Amino acid sequence: MHWFIKSLPRPRLAVIVAATGVATAALLVARPSVAYAAGVDDEAAFVFNTFSFLIWGALVMWMCAGFTMLESGSVRTKNASMICLKNIGLYSIAALAYFFVGYNLMYTDLIAGVIGTPNLLYGPTAAEVSLLGDPEGAAAEVLETGAGYSAMSDWFFQMVFVATAASIVSGALAERVKVWSFFLFVLLLTAIIYPIVGAWTWGGGWLKELGFSDFAGSTIVHSTGGWAALAGLIVVGPRLGKFRRDGTVRPTPPSNILVVTLGVFILWFGWIGFNGGSQLGLASAKDAVAMSVVIANTNLAAAAGVIVALLVARPILGRIDLFAILNGAIAGLVSITARPDITEHYWAVIIGAIGGLVVVLGLKLLEKIKLDDVVGAVPAHLFAGIWGTLAVSITGGAPIHIQLLGIVSIGAAVFAVSLGLWKLMDLTIKARVSYDVERLGQDAGELRMESYPEFVLMPDMEEDD
């Protein structure tokens, strides 16, 4: 093409350029919607919105890979295979549980603003099924009776959020929770606990009616996972030797900080879909601009979280802790998730920066109260989630007492139910692996395999202290 243009005589080239300009101007005059991109027709809007849900949902699904990398690099090598099993298992459980039960409990015909109708299964609308058999005759009905996007694209986008909440629990309890106990808890979390919280809020329930605001889930997703993880930490207890008899904390640095860093970058990348997709539409110029604002703010908050964690790590933790700094990125992302649609971008920097401070202080607090959170999930998701939800009152004008009510009510419900479930499992099928399995490692003890078979297993004698 470049050769062709150069070969044209200059007078002819000038004529072509002029004709192109005239044609473009005529098009914009005749079709001003092309120039202003104020919107598209109903069918195009349906296609754009559906495609948006599917693409952003795929990015959020990719966050499961990020959690797998983050967790497998944070644990000792003798437990890395178990982390991989838990993460692919929890994603699969979440998908099935939300398909069979969870979505309907969250969105279908809410009862008293508390819980949806407990119907089994979920699928396309009758009009969408007809459209697949009769494309010409049923298209108008789909556009008239639908929500502006396909039913299953919405289900997919909502489902990957459920899996994110479950992933938070996985990392906190790594290296000592029994795999079948964990999977049972994930089933109940994704089928019942999370959907009921979602019904109160995004499903149009009682908290939504009061004015509770949480754009993409600082509380609904991240604090819910954080409260469930905190309950598990209390029941399951710390890893062997993590807290010595003299009260000091035994350092357990990540076994593969390269993999942890990769995991954080994957999560950061996936968060573009997490928050950007929560615009819930891409059929107008307004949607495109709003989505751009959301993504920019998401990126700014994560970056600010990293920088502040870097600055405060030494004064608070006594060292420049790369693990804490990486958690600063996650905390910044969690913090902005409640209100990433603000147009004053400096607020995103402030919110993310405070999130970075919150997570480093939270890591120190857990050490003080002897709670062993392997990946820092509770500070990064619960503590930062609370801060981000409260920040909506500053940036978005949400009533502070309603935001507090949402935080407390969701926290109390999720924590109480989760604590009861963990205790019940501990009394019956046991929540924690045996001493021998934990000392040997869950890879060899439960899976009968090694993540790094060429390495010689060296049991850590300090675990007996």
317 plus 200 within the same structural domain: yes
Does residue 197 sit in the same domain as residue 290?
Answer: yes
| pLDDT above 50: residue 453 | yes
Does 462 score more than 90 pLDDT?
no
Residue 140, pLDDT score: 79
Number of domains in the chain: 2
Q: Are residues 25 and 140 in the same domain?
A: no
> For all residues of the chain together, what is the average pLDDT?
90
Q: What's the rounded mean pLDDT across residues 225-252?
A: 94
pLDDT value at position 460?
63
State yes or no: pLDDT of 32 exceeds 80: no
Task: Specify whether 31 is located in the same domain as 166.
Answer: no
Instruction: Classify residue 185: in a domain, yes or no.
Output: yes
Domain that holds residue 28: 2-36
The reply to whether 45 falls in a domain is no
Give yes or no: residues 6 and 68 share one domain. Answer: no
Residue 42 forms part of a structural domain: no
Digit-coded pLDDT (tens) for 330-369: 999 999 999 999 999 999 999 999 999 999 999 999 999 9
Instruction: Indicate if the pLDDT at residue 411 is higher than 60.
Output: yes
Same domain, 327 and 206: yes
Whether residue 204 has pLDDT greater than 70: yes
Q: What is the pLDDT of residue 18?
A: 46
Counting residues of the chain whose pLDDT is more than 90, the rounded percentage is 80
Count Cβ atoms below 10 Å from residue 246 Cβ, excluding itself: 6
271: nearest Cα among 251, 301, 242, 245? 301
| Band (29; pLDDT cuts 50, 70, 90) | very low
124 and 266, same domain (yes or no): yes
**Least confidently predicted of 10-19, 312-321, 324-333, 439-448:** 10-19
Same domain, 12 and 139: no
The rounded distance, in Å, linking the Cα atoms of 171 and 22 is 60
Split at pLDDT 50, 70, 90, the class of 23 is very low
User: Mean pLDDT over residues 89-96, rounded?
Assistant: 98
Assess whether 27 and 89 both reside in one domain: no
Confidence of residue 61 (pLDDT cuts 50, 70, 90): very high
Structure tokens at 421: 């479930």
- Indicate if the pLDDT at residue 25 is higher than 60: no
Q: How far is CA 268 from the centre of its chain?
A: 10
Q: Is the same domain home to 418 and 364?
A: yes
104-149 confidence digits (pLDDT tens): 999 999 999 999 999 999 999 888 988 888 767 678 788 877 789 9
- The pLDDT of residue 463 is 56
Domain membership of residue 333 (yes or no) is yes
In three-state secondary structure terms, 177 is strand
Dist. CA 61–CA 250, nearest whole Å:
34
Q: Which amino acid is at 89?
A: G
Q: Does the model's pTM come out above 0.85? A: yes
Residue 43 located in a structural domain: no
Tokens 């489902």 belong to residue: 159
pLDDT by residue (tens digit) across 260-270? 999 999 999 99
Least confident of 214-223, 242-251, 271-280, 338-347: 242-251
Q: Is residue 77 part of a domain?
A: yes
From the list 304, 397, 386, the residue with the least C-alpha distance to 348 is: 304
The CATH number for 335's domain is: 1.10.3430.10
Whether residues 230 and 143 share a domain: the answer is yes
Q: Indicate whether 23 and 151 sit together in one domain.
A: no
